[in-house]
Amino acid sequence: MKVNRLVLTSDLLRVANPIHKHEVIANHTKWMHKVLHQTIKYATRKELEIVEWEHGSSFDGDEVYALLGMPSVVESWIELYYQKEVPKEITDYFSPFFKDSLVIGFEISPFMIQIFKQLDVPCINLMWDPVRFMDDIFFCFTTNTPSIFERLVAYQLPQILIYQTADLLRARFLRQNPRFDIEGVIIFGQTKVDRSLIKNTYLKKLEDYAAQIQALQQFGQIFFKPHPFDLESEARTAFFNQLQMQTLRGEYNTYDLLCSEQIKHVAAISSGTLIEAVFFEKPSSMFNQGYYHFHSETPTFSTQQSIAVFNEF
């Protein structure tokens, strides 16, 4: 492989219904460029280019979907997300944009990682780490290149530091001696469209896991904590009544719930909150195991294994 350029990009084929909204994703990439470009230029003496799908740009996601014989809708993005076979027409389309580059991706899909693999283009994929209770939010990294992976491992955040922070939160909670008016199991909700909900080209929903939810009754009363951006949780009233689930409102802080001994078990389809729950030593059930692997003490290379990097990123 030859690297003459540094290119920043996002999940270029991400679309959202009911209208085309990739402009929002392009703005996220521009934000990431502001965060990274001066440091990268200082380290490499190279400018960090941007390749995005937005109004007026050379890259046109609609054209990619047309080559695939698919409409530019969220269902097509879901169908492609884990697809391993990449038609030659697609690699030919991507090639001029990424030839001879090192790609820094922001939450790019496994399908795009496969494209870069076939183009022999090394990539580093950044995501927000699911642990959100540290002193700052931070990134985790995946890559399609073993030598890059080995370099990243040296910067992995030690798990003990995450456990220590969780323990401080638990100690503070204990000193405050709060008592909830609830006890039992919490199911954490998610937004309607999220990559962690994809399984077999389909977006999973809570209704798909009625049997697993019912089995959680062995741990006590089941409560549902909606995601703040989930506008459809009210529509699930009949399903919740069927399983005798009660909905919690905003007054219940997630980390207080993870600290409390009154909460015996937590669950979700595939939420980062369950990865956080590990550090609070809270038993959990994840109904749909996600593609990425987080916070392994002894990571081995795969495109699915993430490396958490704190201030050293």
**Residue 234, domain CATH:** 3.40.50.2000
pLDDT attached to residue 231: 67
pLDDT attached to residue 191: 82
pLDDT band for 200, please (50, 70, 90 cuts).
confident
The mean pLDDT value for 175-204 works out to 86
Rounded to whole angstroms, the Cα distance separating 277 from 55 reads: 41
Tens-digit pLDDT profile for residues 219-232? 999 999 988 777 66
Q: Do 188 and 276 have their domain in common?
A: yes
In contact, 126 and 104? CB cutoff 8 Å: yes
pLDDT band for 302, please (50, 70, 90 cuts).
very high
Q: Which has the higher per-residue pLDDT, 252 or 124?
A: 124
Percent of the chain with pLDDT over 90: 72
In contact, 42 and 48? CB cutoff 8 Å: no
Q: Do 164 and 257 have their domain in common?
A: yes
| Residue 17 pLDDT greater than 70, yes or no | no
Residue 137 forms part of a structural domain: no
Q: How many domains does the chain have?
A: 2
The mean pLDDT value for 106-116 works out to 95
The mean pLDDT value for 135-145 works out to 94
Residue 167 forms part of a structural domain: yes
Rounded to whole angstroms, the Cα distance separating 107 from 195 reads: 10
The mean pLDDT value for 236-263 works out to 88
Q: Which has the higher per-residue pLDDT, 190 or 217?
A: 217
Residues of the domain holding 25: 5-128
Q: Do 113 and 41 have their domain in common?
A: yes
φ, ψ for residue 186, nearest 5 deg: -110, 130
Mean confidence (pLDDT) of the chain: 91
The mean pLDDT value for 249-268 works out to 92
Q: Do 186 and 279 have their domain in common?
A: yes
| Residue 269 pLDDT greater than 70, yes or no | yes
Q: Do 88 and 176 have their domain in common?
A: no
The mean pLDDT value for 7-30 works out to 82
Q: Do 179 and 268 have their domain in common?
A: yes
Q: Do 171 and 250 have their domain in common?
A: yes
